[in-house]
Amino acid sequence: MDPSLLPVRPVSLWRNRDYMLLWSGQVVSVVGSSVSAIVVPLLILALTNSPAAAGIAGALAAIPYVLFSLPAGALIDRWDRKKVMVLCDLGRSITFASIPFAMWFDVLTIWQLYVAAFVEGTLFVFFNIAEVAALPRVVPKEQLGDATAQNMSTFGVAGMIGPGLGGFLFQSVGRAVPFVLDAFSYLASALSLLLIKTSFQGERAPAERKLRAEIMEGLRWAWNEPLVRFTSFISGSMNLTWSASVLIIIVLAKQWGEGEAAIGTIFSIGSVGGVIGAALGGRINRRFSIGQIVVANTWASALLFPLYALAPNIIVLGVISAVLFTTGPIYGVAVLSYRLALIPDALQGRVNSAVRLVAFGGIPLGSMLGGFLLEQIGAINSIWVFSAFLLGLGILVLLKPVKEGNKTVGVEQAA
């Protein structure tokens, strides 16, 4: 056989310079984000002693996806994706640097933290949609599953380091230090992006249509793909519970008299499961259908979440989280790699923004609802409420048929 006719294997991800720059910058950024993610609610609880106030901050960080996701997706398909990502990193760095600055002059208020949460969340919307849309430009389609799994695995390690580090710095070094660290992590991410040579979008004609028409094109594409539509709904429902669980775990640990460093340790232990799940994600994705993975992930969450109410100490709380967090990356690898390979490049921003509108739309609702329930009925009863919700979701994925073209199949075949 003519050697020129043999399929050419793509370069290893570890030897793909531009991918490694993108990946390494995000590893640093995720460490910083994981640090601030745990210390923001800790700082708010220290200032107000109100779980509802912490829940509001969590909602403000996530609600920009509901407000801006669709126009952001259309604009990302028009704009220079790399430039957008760099500017977002710089904006987030300034936002988090303002918090220790206010602490230094003793003028920090809960309102500044609310504004910072909203600004950071807004910039994250644009950055995240641009990043997802750019990945197929940096990585060949046949490696998207492996790249997604590698991202989740290494980001899981970063997420494992961040909470424990954040809790320790907050309690033992200074409340301002974690925010300084996060500000510098965004600067490192911006620098790595500037060094990437690959263009983050293909050639395209100047946009002549109205923004609304472009948004509707992305919505229609996502809606007309049954697998994309169904998994978006499942993701949003799971994220609703996840966003509430963060605050539930913090309040539970504080009720036991644990300090900030111990609380950070709980999430670090839990992140071990995320690393394991991400490491297995690519392999499981090749062996099982998306439908099987959706069903398994949903029922694992429904069966494991109630165990939070029975945990006697923070170690058990961390172990339960670790087992629970294992399922998320497996699900994420399957769904994201499938979607990225399917969406045309010119529609990447718009379709992913439509999907993330639904998938991330549950986060602000979960944060608000979690904070409200914690104040009204306490941590244990809140766990039972969300456990009932997950049980209903598990029953739904078993019963709901999905249409693929003119063929109706069950979730065991597709989701």
Give pLDDT, residue 287.
83
Supply the range of the domain harboring residue 185.
15-409
Give pLDDT, residue 7.
47
Is 139 within a domain?
yes
Give pLDDT, residue 389.
94
Domain count, the chain: 1
Give pLDDT, residue 163.
80
The residues near 1 (Cβ < 8 Å, ≥ 6 apart) are: none
Joined tokens for residue 356: 């993330």
The tens place of each residue's pLDDT in the chain, 415 residues long, gives: 444 444 456 677 777 888 889 888 888 888 888 888 888 888 998 888 888 888 888 889 888 888 888 888 778 878 888 999 999 999 999 999 999 999 999 999 999 999 999 999 999 989 988 888 888 888 887 777 777 777 777 777 777 788 888 888 888 888 899 999 999 999 999 999 999 888 887 666 555 567 778 778 878 888 888 778 888 888 888 889 988 888 899 888 888 888 878 888 888 888 788 778 877 877 787 788 777 888 888 999 999 999 999 988 888 888 898 888 888 888 887 787 778 777 777 777 778 778 877 888 888 888 888 888 998 899 899 999 999 999 999 998 888 754 444 333 333 333 3
Is 113 within a domain?
yes
Could you tell me the CATH number of the domain that includes residue 398?
1.20.1250.20
Give pLDDT, residue 351.
81
Is 231 within a domain?
yes
Is 7 within a domain?
no
Is 371 within a domain?
yes
Q: Give residue for tokens 């600055």.
A: 101
Give pLDDT, residue 271.
79
Is 2 within a domain?
no
Is 10 within a domain?
no
- Which H, E and C letters describe the chain, residue by residue? CCHHHCCCCCCCHHHCHHHHHHHHHHHHHHHHHHHHHHHHHHHHHHHHCCHHHHHHHHHHHHHHHHHHHHHHHHHHCCCCHHHHHHHHHHHHHHHHHHHHHHHHCCCCCHHHHHHHHHHHHHHHHHHHHHHHHHHHHHCCHHHHHHHHHHHHHHHHHHHHHHHHHHHHHHHHHCCCHHHHHHHHHHHHHHHHHHCCCCCCCCCCCCCCCCHHHHHHHHHHHHHCCHHHHHHHHHHHHHHHHHHHHHHHHHHHHHHCCCCHHHHHHHHHHHHHHHHHHHHHHHHHHHHCCHHHHHHHHHHHHHHHHHHHHHCCCHHHHHHHHHHHHHHHHHHHHHHHHHHHHHCCHHHHHHHHHHHHHHHCCHHHHHHHHHHHHHHHHHHHHHHHHHHHHHHHHHHHHHHCCEEECCEEECCCCCC
From 146, 51, 74, select the one nearest 336 (Cα to Cα): 146
Give pLDDT, residue 380.
92
- Is 0.85 topped by the overall pTM? no
Give pLDDT, residue 269.
83
Give pLDDT, residue 116.
94
Give pLDDT, residue 157.
75
Output the CA angle 137-139-143, nearest 5 degrees. Answer: 140
Give pLDDT, residue 304.
93
Is 3 within a domain?
no
